[in-house]
Amino acid sequence: MTAPYQRILVAIDCSDESADILCRAAGVLEGNATGELHLIHVIEPLALAYGADVPMDVTDLQSGLVKQARETALEYARQYQIGEDRIHVELGSIEKTIVDKADALGVDLIVVGSHTRSGLALLLGSTARGLVPGAHCDVLAVKVQRKDKKSD
Ligand code: AMP
């Protein structure tokens, strides 16, 4: 029999659906007093997100986004007694940053939301699908309905 999951990394985009994803992840650790939940939110650097050099200094803007995202992540974390040291707000490309953090923390499960897609969006693929090839642990995709974002 395989061992129960012990350390889980939950990827949140800080939208309202994050609560549903966290609830699922917490459910996986139910009854496991030594299990650990970690939260990650990734901010894509502006130049990366726009695919070109941004002709201005965006350092202040980026640190404002990081601060705001951390506060939102903290609100979610409080509901599940997740300590500040288990909240990770990182700059980078979303899938790679999540996989790298999962490796660094030695997690055995990544939990991520997954929106149902149709039409052209199908071609773009989902975050969950993008994670699977590079991940060295299991990936749980929680089906979610699109809701409004709280930050960035
Ligand atoms: P998708 O089906 O591609 O829209 O994936 C949405 C899910 O990907 C969210 O519910 C999160 O779990 C994850 N995700 C999307 N953006 C981010 C982000 N910036 N940081 C962390 N996780 C994210």
The CA 1 to ligand 1 mean position distance, Å, reads: 31
Kindly give, in sequence order, each residue whose CB lies less than 8 Å from that of residue 133, ignoring residues fewer than 6 positions away.
none
In a domain, 149, yes or no: no
CATH number at residue 112: 3.40.50.620
Count of domains observed in the chain: 1
In a domain, 75, yes or no: yes
Residue 145: what pLDDT?
78
pLDDT tens sequence across 101-151: 999 999 999 999 998 776 666 666 689 989 999 999 999 999 987 765 454
Give me the percent of the chain exceeding a pLDDT of 70.
82
Q: State which residues form the domain around 52.
A: 7-144
Q: How many residues does the chain have?
A: 152
In a domain, 130, yes or no: yes
The CA 113 to ligand 1 mean position distance, Å, reads: 6
In a domain, 63, yes or no: yes
In a domain, 152, yes or no: no
pLDDT tens sequence across 68-84: 999 999 999 999 889 99
